[in-house]
Amino acid sequence: MRRFQLALPRNIDECVKFLAERGPETKVIAGGTDLLPQMKNGLLKPAAVVDLSGVADLRTLRRQDGSGLRVGASVTAREIERDAYVRSAYPALAESGALVGSVQIRNLATVGGNLCNAAPSADMAPPLLALEAEAVVAGPRGRRRVSLSDFFTGVRRTVLAPDELLVELIVPALGPRSGGQYLRHTPRRELDIAVVGVASQITMSDGVCAKARIALAAVAPTPIRATAAEQALEGRPLTAEQIGRAATLAVEAARPISDQRGSADFRRHLVAVLTRRTLTTALERAAR
């Protein structure tokens, strides 16, 4: 690994101050599970690295009465996977955390890192998109909120300026009769990267779908929402036929490439299958 200067801030202000001075030549390290492999193989050569492990404010995972969940950027995938409230109220998010890497990786890898690394296949992105999470971003001019659907701008690119830091995600509260699921396809069961990932999140009311949100990973340059599929479901009962129609529309939203993980055709097939399965499970969970 090329040598670098390491900054050890104790709070968000110190972190932002360092980024304001050295931002363009600096990388932020949280869990390090994406950053260090890229630095070891020479893909990234930052002159300075800012370590977030001493910033306690970034590690809070807390339920807000009536207004959802706040997930600090440094909360680990393992904490997301195991937190009792996340598992019961936001199972799609808990499921995505449980799929990241191995347990040795999940104890390090963070929600913020998964999003800021901005891989098209980031597992925690689809559930957070489907849950309409907002990102809180700190910078030299104060804080701003960005809808997660506007956060990703390209492969490994986000709206974050070099002097900005992702602080937390705000996940809105869900109404009664809501349900969701995240599923991905991988050739191996553990330590693999999604060929396709799909999160579905629905809210039912009087037997019809009041709200549907569907998000896809690894089928476009960024994680994306399948909005036409969502709109086709809203206001209708979720019959097998409606779910099948949404799956077809989700495939139309995908713009997959062919690579060593799978062909574009296989990925389109997976979008249909996983959209159908996640919507079916979301409906079952909404009935509980």
Partner 1 sequence: MAKQVLSFTLNDSETDVLVQPYVTLLDALREDLELTGPKEGCGTGDCGACTVHLDGKPVASCLVLALQARGRSVRTIEGLGRFDALHPLQDAFVRLGVPQCGFCIPGVLMAAAALLAENPHPSEEEIRYGIAGNLCRCTGYTKMLAAITEAAGVAPARRA
User: Which spans of this chain sit near partner 1 (rule: CB under 8 A)?
Assistant: 1-6, 8, 29, 31-33, 36-37, 40, 49, 51, 53-54, 78, 101-105, 107-108, 189-191
- Of 191 and 240, the one with the shorter C-beta distance to partner 1 is 191
- Of 1 and 208, the one with the shorter C-beta distance to partner 1 is 1
Quick count: other Cβ atoms within 10 Å of Cβ 261? 18
- Of 6 and 155, the one with the shorter C-beta distance to partner 1 is 6
Quick count: other Cβ atoms within 10 Å of Cβ 176? 8
Q: How far is the CB of 10 from partner 1 (least distance, A)?
A: 11
Q: How far is the CB of 53 from partner 1 (least distance, A)?
A: 5
- Of 94 and 137, the one with the shorter C-beta distance to partner 1 is 94
Q: How far is the CB of 2 from partner 1 (least distance, A)?
A: 8
Q: What does the block give as tokens for 124? A: 């925690």
- Of 53 and 227, the one with the shorter C-beta distance to partner 1 is 53
Type of residue found at 117: N
Q: How far is the CB of 39 from partner 1 (least distance, A)?
A: 9
Q: How far is the CB of 47 from partner 1 (least distance, A)?
A: 11
- Of 31 and 256, the one with the shorter C-beta distance to partner 1 is 31
Q: How far is the CB of 97 from partner 1 (least distance, A)?
A: 14
